[in-house]
Each structure stands twice: as C-alpha cells, then as structure tokens.
Structure 1
C-alpha cells in the first residue's frame, strides 16, 4: 500500500473509525493522511486480528548440555494459534535447564527438548563407585552417554570392558545401580 502526502504537509498517518468483529477477528479501519486532517487522503483497510503471546527464546545458539541462564533469554511475539502445547511460554521453565539437542537463537523452545544440565559428558573418564553395606569400592570408567544429576547412564568399566548402569551423582562421578537382594520365600 502506498500513501502519498504532499511534501509541505506533516508526514503522518492516523487510524480512525476502527471496527473489530470479536466473533471472527476481522476488522475495518480508515487511515487518514496526514493524521487527523479534515481533508486528508482516506484509505479503507480491512484485515484479521490475531492474538499474540510473548514467547521466551534464546539470544544465542545453545548446544546440548549447556545450562540456560536468565540472561540468555529474550522474547518474541508469536501468534497464539500457531503455538503448540509443548512450546515453552514461561521463561522460568527454561532457567537452569539445558537443551537435549542444540537450540537456535530466536526460535521457540519445545519442552521435550529440555533436560537437566549435563554433569558428565559422553566419552569422559569418571569414578565409578559401589557402596553396599559397609563396603565402598571405586574404579575408573568411561561414559557411553552424557548425563545430568540423577540420570542413569551406561558406563564402561575400563579394566573389564563391561558395560554397567550407573547414576550420575556429581561432576565426573557415578554410582553403580544395584538390584535389590531378592529374599527367599519362606514356606
């Protein structure tokens, strides 16, 4: 749309006579140029109103495992009708989490792509701890998966080359998951 205003008049536009049909979201408005002029150029404008929601997005690319901080968050307006149920609309749900897969800047974040920050990266050496009763053993292992605090991951015992399940309990530290002893049924 082109609006032409004489060079000696103010280069402004006003919206007058705005009508919105709340049932279907359609609107009709009259634009006047220059703004509020009695003899200004009048243009009829029709369109559709779309509700928008401010959605938190990341300011820069975040790769898998990086923790999201409050200063990493920006906001964009998105049509509410196009937002999926899994799109994060509350910034507090992002803070302290990390992506499972990289997230580009300026893109809405899917809840399913968030997890706890990675404490142990894949392929790193870790201390593998076994505590049972009064016994405490520690061996070296290599992680086969990345994991955050409390995640159960696969770890390869360096000495025996056996794969075990272990819970991440700290940076470069995992605890072997043991099965509960089975009690014999008494007859």
Structure 2
C-alpha cells in the first residue's frame, strides 16, 4: 500500500514519525527557498531539469536532487519532503514537486507527462534466523548449554527488524525471561549500540527447545557395508527423544560397517555399527614380529575372529602352541616383543 508523502515541511516543525506516512513530507520554509533562489546563479547552459522517475532514498528526508536531475547544487541538496518509513513506499504528486521547483526559482522541469512519483525508503530486513541465533546464545548461557543445542520456536508470526542499510550492529536481546521448566522465553530483540539507543526493536516470545544433531540414513545400507557422509543427512531432534548413541557427536564411523541391514529414514546409532572383522576364526594368518632391522614371520591359525586392534589367540599348527597377537590388517597379526622368543622358537 502506498501513502502520500507530499505535505510541506514547515519552519519550526519537528521531525514527523516514520510510521505515519500520510503526515510525513513537504516543502522547506517558503521564505528560505525564495531567498535561496534569489541568490542562486542560473542553470548551466543546455541543462534542462527533469524528473528522475521513481526513486529510492536511504535517508529520512527526500532532497530536491533525489527527484529532479540537473538541478543547481544548492537546490539539489535542499530537503523538501520527509521520506516514508523504513522499507515503505510513498507517492508525491508531480504538482507538488513543480511548486517546490518554482519556490526554488527553477522553471521548466520536464515531467514526461507523469502525475506522481513513487519514493521507496531503502531498508535492511533482519529476519528470524538472526533473531533466533541471538536468543539461542542468551538462553544457552542462562541454561549452561552450547548455543548450537538450542532451537527457537517463536509464538505466532516470526519477528523481523527493519533498519537502515548502513546499520551494522548485530541483533541483541533485552529483558529476557526464561523458565527452564517450561522452556518458554520472552523479551525484546533490538538493534542498536546500546539498549537505550535502539534503532529497531520487536517483542519476542516462544519456546527454546534443546536439540541434538542426528544422522538420518538416505539409503539402505547392506550388512557389512561401510557408512559414508553421503549416506546420511543431518537433522536436529529433541534431546529427550534421542538415544545417547544416536547423537551425531557420539558416532564413530571410521573403520565401521553395518552390523545388520539398515533401512533408509532411520537414525543411525553407534550400536548399528561394528568394526569389520579382518580375521575370522580358523583363518590361516601371517604372524609378524618386527624389532629394528629384525623381521620374523610365521604362518599360524586364528583361534578367534578379530577386528583391527583386537588381541586374539593364534595357534602354530605344527607345535600347537598358543600365543596372543594384535590384528593389524586382513589376515595379518603382530606379535609383541614379549612373544619374540616364542616366535623365534616356533620359526625353527
């Protein structure tokens, strides 16, 4: 919806509220304009003032030069109308602009047949994501939790803040009230250097839920197959509904395979995974002993299955002696220094 913004700016009048577009705008005191016109040099030869068309302004006033091109410098800098509210659109009747030009001593402004000009006040919209992040940080501090574990759900329509494009201050929260039992919050989101100097503000209320990230499978994983990052998407779920071993930060995927067939859409749990067996029971394995330049190897038979890092019993089929060895690869085990003498004896 557009509003008229072509009421005159009168001498001694205070600045009009931005939200009241129909009251905002107009000409600078007629006497001052006439005086300025009387002392201004004429237009440069060949320069014909003309309407710029629909315009966008960043300040809280519309200057003559915002509306009319090729105006003398002092006239172009003259504030003539109040701008609409931040992010709003207003209209100015061309007849009003021509009256202003005449008061400034400028004749013959080309209008191209237009009857009104649209003025848009530039603004930067700060959305719910930035406001929710500021709220999550403050609620997390109050609750003694990491900010990334707080998810904000606003009551009703999520709030937004409008500020001038050059305003760089981050969103801040004032008067926060938070109830850990119900997890409800209320307060005010604002942008400004200090709470007492707010450039924009909006009341906020809602629920601050604690959530954790989980890995949700996007495809079926057959038993024995490894899970990679492309096999799941990350979702945030309420912590009270999430098993401890389903939290993303609790998952260890390296050198893990599916313990059983895992279905798409299920949350991945650490219990769904196991380390792949590199040695099976009764496998013939290579026993390896290394010490400095000395390397001893011997074939043996695994008495147990094992994954990487497991210590299993290995039997020499000839002597039937049993020793312990660490699984270090497919079909390969390492015998520690304590067993060096036994390995050397078995190798003879």
- TM-score normalised to structure 2 length: 0.32
User: Does the aligned pair in 2 maintain the 1:145–1:154 contact within 8 Å?
Assistant: no
**Distance between the aligned counterparts of 2:231 and 2:282, measured in 1?**
28
The one of the two structures with greater contact order (alpha-carbon pairs below 8 A, sep at least 6) is: 1
Residue number among 204, 226, 230 corresponding to 1:71 in the alignment: 230
Contact kept, 8 Å, 2:215 with 2:233, in 1: the verdict is yes
Tell me the SS of whatever aligns to 1:86.
helix
Once the 2 structures are TM-superposed, how far is the Cα of residue 22 of structure 1 from its aligned partner?
6.5
**Greater CA drift, 164-173 or 76-85:** 76-85
Q: Secondary structure at the match of 1:18?
A: coil
- Which structure is higher in strand share? 1
1:145 aligns with 2:330: no
Change (3 A) 1:100 1:125: farther
CA RMSD of superposed structures (Å): 3.9
Query: Which residue in the other structure is 2:255 paired with?
Result: 97
Mapped to 1, the partners of 2:338 and 2:244 lie a distance apart of 38
Q: CA deviation at 1:90?
A: 3.9
Contact 1:97 1:114 in 2 (8 A): no
The alignment's TM-score, normalised by the length of structure 1, stands at 0.53
More helix by percentage = 2
> Offset of 1:81 from its aligned partner?
1.3
Q: Is the 8 A contact 2:306 2:327 kept in 1?
A: no
Find 1:131's aligned residue among 276, 290, 307. 290
> Which residue of 221, 232, 257 maps to 1:61?
221
Q: Aligned partners of 1:97 and 1:136: how far apart in 2? A: 27
Q: Alpha-carbon deviation of 1:142?
A: 2.8
Q: How many residues align?
A: 140
